[in-house]
Amino acid sequence: MITSNYTLTQHEMKLMLRWLALGGKPDVRYHIAEALLSNHVQDQRLGYDIVLIDAPPRLSTSTIGALAAATHLVMPTVLDRLSAETAGGFLRQVWELRAKLNLGLELAGVVGTKTPARPLENKLPPIQEEALATVISGLAQWRTNGYVFKRDIQLLASVTRCAGVSNPYFAKEDKAQRMFESFGDELSERIGL
């Protein structure tokens, strides 16, 4: 497993160069859409109902492959000024790619992440509210059906402890489970599951 940070980009570049050196023979790493649309994955009885792909927030080869294979995009963004300002630009790039490649990709929505821990029913603090307003203005770059999830993903101690090691949903903390269930319910409704 390689995390979706800059080391992924370096690793991905090495793999792409190796693939090109071998004459560009078919390789599933460069045909993710083909693999995900195969009978094995799509089989009604033995296939998958949902496949989640965690891709880096830049248009690398793996991200473009993931977008080509996807039906919906969930764009997480940290609710701080810098991240919020880049959200619109990324949505614009994906929208343009969607048009060029004739993708049926829909925006499920943007979800705020790493927000301060607080009771789940409480509103965002003022700094995150300001960042959210910037994200909302950036949604215009998608040009249609923009959406921001009501449930944000808080920076809980249990989530931090599990990062890169295990799934925080199973961390035996009721608040983390309720937070992820709330987000999952909203996502399911949004994409029609």
Spell out the residues 6+ positions from residue 78 whose beta carbon is closer than 8 angstroms to its own.
Answer: 84, 112, 113, 114
Question: Would you call 15 helix, strand, or coil by DSSP?
Answer: helix
Residue pair 123/129 in contact (Cβ under 8 Å)? The answer is yes
The answer to whether the CB of 184 falls within 8 A of the CB of 173 is no
Mean pLDDT of 130-150: 93
Would you kindly state where each structural domain of the chain is located, as residue ranges?
1-70, 71-193
The pLDDT score that the predictor gives to residue 2 is 43
DSSP 118-181: --TTSPPPHHHHHHHHHHHHHGGGG-S---B-SS-EE--HHHHHHTTTS-GGGSS-HHHHHHHH
What architecture is domain 71-193?
3-Layer(aba) Sandwich (3.40)
| DSSP states along 40-65 | HHH-TTTS-S-------SS--HHHHH
Tens-digit pLDDT profile for residues 163-178: 777 777 777 778 889 9
Residue 30 has a pLDDT of 58
Predicted model pTM: 0.77
Q: What is the pLDDT of residue 26?
A: 65
